[in-house]
C-alpha cells in the first residue's frame, strides 16, 4: 500500500498499523476522559494518517489519480436495496443532495477506540473539510458541518433540518 498508493499520490506520513505504539502517534481518549489503550486501537484497513495526508488523498481520489472517473461515479452513486428502498450511501460514502439548492454533499465518518473523524466534501465549492479528534466521542460530524456552513452558507438550513430529522428518528426508537 505504501509503495503503490500512499507514496505515489504524495501521502508522506500515512502508514499501516503494526500493532505497536509509536512516539509520533496521538494519544487517544475514551469518552470518560481516560486514556485509550493503544493496543485496542485499529482503523479500518489498518491505516494511520494525518489531516494533511488525508487532504492529499481526497485531492488524488476525486481528481482521477487513484481510480478512473467512471469508477468514481459508481462509488458515489447512492444504492437501491433489494426491497427497492433508496439509501443515501454509495460505496463507502454518504451521498446526499440538498433539496433547496440541489447541490451534492459527500461525507464519511467513523470512530475507533480513542479516536473519531468526519470528512465532508462539497464538490460545487471544491471544498473538503476533515476533522480528526483523539477522542472516541469527538463530535466530529458537528464540527465538520459547522465549518462547512461557514464556507457554504446554503448548508445552514440543510444541516438544521438534517439534525432535526436525526433527533426525531432517534426519539421514536
Which domains does the chain carry? 2-75+91-172 (3.40.710.10)
CA-CA distance, 108 to 123, in Å (whole number)?
14
pLDDT-derived band at 132 (thresholds 50, 70, 90) equals very high
Which of 46, 23, 14, 30 has its CA nearest to residue 133? 30
Mean per-residue pLDDT for 15-38?
Answer: 81
Would you say residue 128 has pLDDT above 70?
Answer: yes
**48-53: which pairs have CB atoms within 8 A and are 24 or more residues apart?**
48/14, 48/15, 48/16, 48/17, 49/11, 49/13, 49/14, 50/13, 50/14, 50/132, 51/130, 51/132, 52/13, 53/6, 53/11, 53/12, 53/13, 53/14
Residue 96: burial class (beta carbons within 10 Å; 0-12, 13-18, 19+): middle
Output 109 or 113, whichever has higher pLDDT: 109
Q: For residue range 99-112, what is the model confidence (pLDDT) as tens digits?
A: 778 899 999 998 88
Q: For residue range 64-80, what is the model confidence (pLDDT) as tens digits?
A: 999 999 999 999 999 99
Cell of 40: 485496542
Mean per-residue pLDDT for 15-19?
Answer: 78
Q: For residue range 86-101, what is the model confidence (pLDDT) as tens digits?
A: 999 999 999 998 877 8
pLDDT-derived band at 40 (thresholds 50, 70, 90) equals low
Q: What is the pLDDT of residue 59?
A: 95
Supply φ then ψ for residue 85, to 5 degrees. Answer: -70, 140
Cell of 152: 457554504
CA-CA distance, 42 to 33, in Å (whole number)?
19
DSSP H helices in the chain: 7-9, 51-62, 69-75, 140-151, 155-172
Would you say residue 41 has pLDDT above 60?
Answer: no
Amino acid at each position: 500500500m505504501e509503495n503503490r498508493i500512499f507514496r505515489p499520490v504524495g501521502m508522506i506520513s500515512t502508514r499501516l498499523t503494526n500493532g505497536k505504539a509509536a512516539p509520533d502517534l496521538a494519544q487517544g481518549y475514551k469518552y470518560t476522559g481516560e486514556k485509550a489503550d493503544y493496543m485496542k486501537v485499529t482503523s479500518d484497513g489498518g491505516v494511520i494518517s494525518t489531516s494533511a495526508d488525508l487532504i492529499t488523498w481526497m485531492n488524488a481520489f476525486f481528481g482521477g489519480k487513484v481510480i478512473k472517473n467512471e469508477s468514481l461515479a459508481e462509488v458515489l452513486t447512492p444504492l437501491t436495496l433489494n426491497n427497492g428502498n433508496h439509501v443515501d450511501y454509495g460505496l463507502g460514502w454518504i451521498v446526499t443532495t440538498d433539496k433547496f439548492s440541489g447541490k451534492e454533499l459527500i461525507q464519511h465518518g467513523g470512530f475507533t477506540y480513542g479516536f473519531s473523524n468526519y470528512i465532508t466534501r462539497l464538490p460545487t465549492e471544491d471544498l473538503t473539510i476533515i476533522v480528526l479528534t483523539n477522542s472516541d466521542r469527538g463530535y466530529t460530524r458537528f464540527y465538520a458541518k459547522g465549518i462547512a456552513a461557514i464556507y457554504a452558507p446554503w448548508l445552514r438550513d440543510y444541516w438544521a433540518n438534517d439534525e432535526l430529522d436525526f433527533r426525531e428518528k432517534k426519539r421514536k426508537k
